Amino acid sequence: MATIKPNKPSITPIAPREGDGSVVMERLTQKVQPPSMYQVVMLNDDYTPMEFVVVVIQEFFGKDLEAATQIMLKIHLDGRGVCGVYSRDIAATKVDQVMDAAHKAGHPLQCVSEPVDL
């Protein structure tokens, strides 16, 4: 996984004091933005069993049976349901895990990640 090295804080010289001849360096701190968040969304289909969806939600998103069932019902009734909100890399990993599990089980379950609207 590629990571971006943080930039070193810039250092700005301050004018020397009269007669002293020395220069004082002042460190300017940079404000770091929090990472943009992505929601992992499962899409409804007419073939994947509801029980399989509940198990996947429990296994990969750490939900208990009741929360997983509620998410599964939202997916079934609304056509899509949010399983969790993560940073971009973690959301992409969750999508890959769900798609791999569905493929191995022979189900056409679809899962996507999309940016969270703030």
- Which amino acid, residue 19? G
| pLDDT at residue 36 tops 80 | yes
Phi, psi (rounded to 5 degrees) for 16: -65, 150
Q: What's the pLDDT score for residue 5?
A: 61
pTM score, whole prediction: 0.73
Check residue 104 and report its DSSP letter: H
Task: Output 117 or 105, whichever has higher pLDDT.
Answer: 105
The CATH number that applies at residue 89 is: 3.30.1390.10
Determine, yes or no, domain membership for 88: yes
Average confidence (pLDDT) over 100-108? 97
Determine, yes or no, domain membership for 65: yes
Q: What's the pLDDT score for residue 104?
A: 97
Domain count, the chain: 1
Answer whether 116's CB lies under 8 Å from 38's CB.
Answer: yes
- pLDDT band for position 52 (50/70/90)? very high
